[in-house]
Amino acid sequence: MNKQTSLLSLFAILLLPLLAFAQGRERDAEKENAILQQLQSVAPSAVNDFKAATEALDREDFKEAARLYELVLKKAPEFDVVFRRLGFSLVGMGRYQEGIAMMEKAVSKKKSPENLVSLAQSLAYPGPDREGSKADKERAFSLARIAYLEKRDEDDPSYPFLVAQLSLDLNNEKVFREVTEALVKKYPDQMATHYFAALLAAFDEDWIKAEEEIKKAEALGFPAEAAREFLQSGVHSRATVWRYVFYSLYALAAWAVGLVLLFAFGKIMSGVTLRSLEQSDPNVTAGQKENSLRNFYRKLISVAGFYYYLSLPFVVLLVIIAAGSAFYAFYMAGQIPIKLAALIGFGAIATIFMMIRSLFIRRQSEDPGRALKESEAPRLWQLAREVAGVVDTRPVDEIRLTPGTEMAVYERGSFRERSQDRARRILILGLGTVNGFRRNAFRAVLAHEYGHFSHRDTAGGDVALRVNSDIINFAEAIGRAGQAVWWNLAFQFLRAYHFIFRRITHGATRLQSGDFTIRAKCGSCLPTAKP
């Protein structure tokens, strides 16, 4: 019960409104009639005075109530109820000892739950600005528990309320927890139930629930000032922190699910692409199914690219959480290894810095090889134009020679120029492919490359290139800083994401490189074509 000492100082402040609530409940007419009938049987002439005294007590006119109850007492000296209510009236007037004595007599005459709980409340909380001693509260606690256990009236929550408050004051966590849990089940709509539930949640360090419960109590009549003081004791700030912790965990979970979905889509699309290539007729123009597959792949690559940048804040969060968890573990262990802590701190800061910096590094892109002038190879240029005419597309604007064996095409220009098919078309020709390359075979492969232009495969790719460049920048920076280690979450993220992104983009490459629909237009020039 001593978990939150900052809240314990608040209980005395919050106690008074609760007692006012407990004392201010309307009387049960059926029970009151039973009491009046009992008095009628022993002192009929005292009934009217008793009723008037009770009305005065309910409006807190304790002096008038005491005067009238004394008249009733003279006529019914064995009636325990009049002793109890006279005692309440005397305590309300400030005549504490006399009032307690009267209630003690009521208990001695009849140990009813009503007499026991009344004595208990007066012993523990005799007035709005007065509390009983610890010994008084301990006795009150025993009396209140007996009354609570013997009481059979399920409509009167004042008994468990008093037991809960006394167990709270006496630091009896076990009873407080048991009674509060019973209140939540039996009286979920009572203000005091939410008040006690808020305190129990604070003890359990469930700050979000504590805040919610005290606000429910406030909505049911709990004083706003007391609720605000409770929240300002640290409950609200801690609840806010934990809310953001849970929001972060939910976001991390959603992000992780997104990564899994990207991987799954990449795997599925790769399989779909292979089946499409195996089942398609190379001599038939691409249909709606193939075009839809291409469009979907473009969108998937764009989503995967943007998801990389969306992932970076989550990676930063994971790095911070990992470093913070390590520091917290050192703190809980009672010993902080300075060198290890410094290494973890440096690694976290360096990783975050390099991650952000990698987004602003731009690699200088250079065209491969050298440009081949038309005067140097007029027949090659003529062949390129012929194949373009057969394929019915615009010929290349530039041919570049490289020392390798590659043969590929790309476009140079702004995004708008490429999207409108106005960009400069470039053919890369590796010298290693020239020797022994038959004319028809060369025309077939060249037609295939022109097919990329026709299908606008070269019009996009900005996102994929940008992401790939940023991943490489980040990986190189981590490697140079010595942070490419197994325990670096950012490094593991790079490995996983590069694998997922490579699977998706390679699937698109299969689709583009394996599409031979251009053969239908090229006719007999393509009998020996290979991708």
pLDDT digits (tens, 9 = 90+) for 476-510: 888 887 877 788 888 888 888 888 887 777 655 54
Regarding whether 197 and 260 lie in a shared domain, the answer is no
Domains held by the chain: number: 3
Regarding whether 146 and 62 lie in a shared domain, the answer is yes
Residue where a domain stops, chosen among 238, 270, 301: 238
Residue 142 sits in a domain whose CATH number is 1.25.40.10
232 Cβ neighbours under 8 A, 6+ residues apart: none
Which stretches in the chain have pLDDT values below 50? 1-17, 19-24, 284, 510-531
* Contact (CB, 8 A) for 293 and 345: no
Asked, for residue 187, whether it belongs to a domain, the answer is yes
Asked, for residue 531, whether it belongs to a domain, the answer is no
| Residue-level pLDDT at 242 | 87
Regarding whether 386 and 267 lie in a shared domain, the answer is no
Asked, for residue 504, whether it belongs to a domain, the answer is no
| Residue-level pLDDT at 226 | 86
Regarding whether 392 and 349 lie in a shared domain, the answer is no
Regarding whether 112 and 48 lie in a shared domain, the answer is yes
Q: Of 404, 456, 466, which Cα lies nearest the Cα of 429?
A: 404
pLDDT digits (tens, 9 = 90+) for 432-444: 888 888 888 888 8
Regarding whether 134 and 45 lie in a shared domain, the answer is yes
Asked, for residue 494, whether it belongs to a domain, the answer is no
Sheet of strand 370-371, all strands in order from the earlier edge strand to the far edge: 370-371, 398-402, 424-430, 407-412
Regarding whether 249 and 229 lie in a shared domain, the answer is no
Regarding whether 444 and 397 lie in a shared domain, the answer is yes
Give the separation between CA 398 and CA 463, rounded to whole angstroms: 24
Give the separation between CA 322 and CA 345, rounded to whole angstroms: 10
Give the separation between CA 231 and CA 214, rounded to whole angstroms: 8
Residue where a domain stops, chosen among 191, 223, 238: 238
Contacts 24+ apart (CB under 8 A), 501-504: 501/304, 501/305, 501/308, 501/464, 501/467, 501/468, 501/471, 503/263, 503/266, 503/267, 503/270, 504/262, 504/265, 504/266, 504/269, 504/300, 504/301, 504/304
Regarding whether 279 and 406 lie in a shared domain, the answer is no
Give the separation between CA 311 and CA 317, rounded to whole angstroms: 10
Give the separation between CA 203 and CA 2, rounded to whole angstroms: 8
Asked, for residue 505, whether it belongs to a domain, the answer is no
Residue 377 sits in a domain whose CATH number is 3.30.2010
Residue where a domain stops, chosen among 210, 238, 266: 238
Residue 128, domain extent: 5-238
| Residue-level pLDDT at 182 | 92
Regarding whether 407 and 352 lie in a shared domain, the answer is no
